[in-house]
Each structure stands twice: as structure tokens, then as C-alpha cells.
Structure 1
Amino acid sequence: MEPTDEIKDMTVRGKPMRLHWYYSGNSWYVKRIPLRKTDKVYSVVGAGASRKEALDDMLRLQDLECVATA
């Protein structure tokens, strides 16, 4: 499969999110893009064999980043 690069708006955990998806080398990568200028900017990138695994990884790392900066 060729590399895929796309941006999708989704609702995750009841919140609207803009996600940047990238597929390369049999892995999915996902990064959250702020919807508004006032939204928090996260520096984490989730990775996994499927979109669900990548999204779960990103959300887990995002939660850890929030705890670390609190």
C-alpha cells in the first residue's frame, strides 16, 4: 500500500477533533490538529498497525502529556 496522508474531522470521546492521518511502512500515525486557535496543541503522535491502535496510542500519550504538564 502506498503512503496515505489525510486530514479528517472526527468525534472522539464526545469531542470534535481534527486528526492528521499518515500511513507508511505498514503502520498508521495520527496527530491531533487544533480546531480553533484557543485549543491546546498536543505534541504527541500515535502509532499502530491499525487506525484504532494509532488513535488509542495518541489518546493515551495525550493523557500522559496533560498529567506531565499539570
Structure 2
Amino acid sequence: MSIQIQAREFKAKCLKLMEQVQQTREEIVITKHGKPVAKLVPCEEPAQPIFGFLDGTVQLKGDIIAPINEAWDADA
């Protein structure tokens, strides 16, 4: 369901209505003399990419390739 608003009211409250549409995801139909002339709809949120979304979240400390100097016993 969409909200209808007259063009002159939309003009006076434009920024507030844009925030409302962003938050509620509900579209607003703008009318002039009772006839629809435009529609304010929320933008589609861009999808998160599958590859690279963790880029920059890991920190390497020290040498991760060199062998460990400690002895390891698998039987313990």
C-alpha cells in the first residue's frame, strides 16, 4: 500500500518524506489536482559481494610460514 500526498505538501516536506521512505520502505505517490504524477520509492540496497567481504578484517602477527620451534606430540 502506498501513501498519497499532494505536490505542494511534498514540496514543503520533501527531505522528511525521503527519510521516511528510506526507513519504512513504503512508497509515496505524489498527486497534482488529485491525479498521480510521480512516485517516491526506496532505492534497492546493493547486495554484499560474496568474495572479498572480509577484506581488511584479519591481521597477521609474525611469520605464518616458518615452522614452530616447539615440539609437538600427537600421542599426548
Larger radius of gyration: 2
**TM-score of the alignment, normalized to the shorter chain, above 0.5:** no
TM-score bin (small chain): under 0.3
TM-score, normalization by structure 1 = 0.24
TM-score (norm 2): 0.23
Higher relative contact order (CA 8 A, sep 6+): 2
